[in-house]
Amino acid sequence: MRKKLLLTAGPVPVSEEIQQILNQPVTYHRSENFIRNFESTTQGLQYLFQTKNDALILTASGSGGMEAAISNLFSPGDQILVVENGKFSQRWSEMALKFQLDVNKLEIPWGKSVTAAEVTKKISSLKSIKGIFLTHCETSTGALTDLETIVPAIREQTKALVIVDAISSAGILPLKMDDWGIDVIVSASHKGLGLPPGLAFVALNNRAWICSEQAELPRYYFDLIRARQALLMRKGSAFTPAIPLILAAEFTLEKIKKQGLANIWTKQKQLADYFRQRLKDAGFEIFPDFPSDSLTVIKAEPLLNPIELASILNKKFDIIVSRGQASIAREVIRVGHLVNIGESHLNIFLEALQKILSDNSKK
């Protein structure tokens, strides 16, 4: 079987050193050594999120972390605001409705990024709002939310919790929980950390913990108070965790700290800028107005049919990209460049794209 080049918006390619860690014999999750590994991983997450607050580990996908944030912080009927500008930000609304929250939506056109003025204007029209949900990188469109500007503006207007989906941004984009005033961050293992799927991370500040003590929504496996107590009592996790993934996360987070987040952010921006310039030189447009450095969403139409393009890349060139979703499925493809991807990998994609363009022009 030929090896595929994985350029999706997640999961990401896993390095050989991580695969070696994952292949180690499984250890006991209540052993003193593993509890130290677990605690070290939570400390690494604090650096990743740039926070002194609690960072918890759940065995789940990123969506599990999102559900945990909702079920631990609110009560039925609580009024919240969700900024929707794509498929994954819509997931906040879908989950919140299942938990019987009063969901208000600020709907932004796909490919656009919300502004501080738009958010604050919407907040001013609402009463007794308890939470505001933002998506740092909307992976369906590639649009970036300017948290550094928007969160402080929210802070000046309301005491509502600010909850951020950083699933495809943490470890890739500047993200400063404490400095910017974010109350809750949700992320996961299979994007910026370069690990397989299976871990969700939730960081909460004191304001969020106060809300969690008052929240009345049901939770058991995703009970964050229980997870915090297990950590404080030096038990590690409340339930059996994904042991190999946590060992791999500890290794990766230590590596990130040695490299320095600022250096990583700069490198990711340079890679994204390089790739997008090459695409523009080839005649393609970038879909979002304010793109994230995690992935590039390319307007394939009118040059190529995006569904056919994704299929040809896979079958003929062994390159796997993410297709467009929902209303833009027939307009774009999505190319991830989060972790373990460099210029050489993107050049392989660009060469294949040029070959497909050339073949298409001969038809």
Predicted confidence (pLDDT) per residue in 136-165, tens digit: 999 999 999 999 999 999 999 999 999 999
Model confidence at 133: pLDDT above 70 = yes
- Residue-level pLDDT at 298: 99
Model confidence at 249: pLDDT above 90 = yes
Domain ranges across the chain? 5-11+260-361, 16-259
For residues 137 and 173, give the distance between their C-alpha atoms in angstroms, rounded to a whole number.
9
| CATH ID of 5-11+260-361, from 3.90.1150.10, 2.30.42.10, 2.40.10.120, 3.40.50.720 | 3.90.1150.10
Predicted confidence (pLDDT) per residue in 255-270, tens digit: 999 999 999 999 999 9
Task: Characterize 98-113 residue by residue with b for buried, 16 or more Cβ atoms within 10 angstroms of its Cβ, and e for exposed.
Answer: ebebbbbbbebebbbb
- Residue-level pLDDT at 328: 97
Model confidence at 363: pLDDT above 90 = no
Predicted confidence (pLDDT) per residue in 79-107, tens digit: 999 999 999 999 999 999 999 999 999 99
Contact 184, 352 (CB under 8 A): no
For residues 273 and 56, give the distance between their C-alpha atoms in angstroms, rounded to a whole number.
33
Q: Is 153 exposed, middle or buried (0-12, 13-18, 19+ CB in 10 A)?
A: middle
Question: Diameter of the chain by CA atoms?
Answer: 68
pLDDT over 90 for what percent of the chain?
97
Model confidence at 361: pLDDT above 80 = no
| Mean pLDDT score across all residues of the chain | 98
Catalogue the E-assigned strands of 183-239.
184-188, 199-204
- What does pTM read for this prediction? 0.97
Q: Can you tell me the mean pLDDT for 60-70?
A: 99
For residues 216 and 82, give the distance between their C-alpha atoms in angstroms, rounded to a whole number.
20
Residue type, position 295, single letter: L
For residues 198 and 286, give the distance between their C-alpha atoms in angstroms, rounded to a whole number.
31
For the 16-259 domain, the top CATH level (class) is: alpha beta
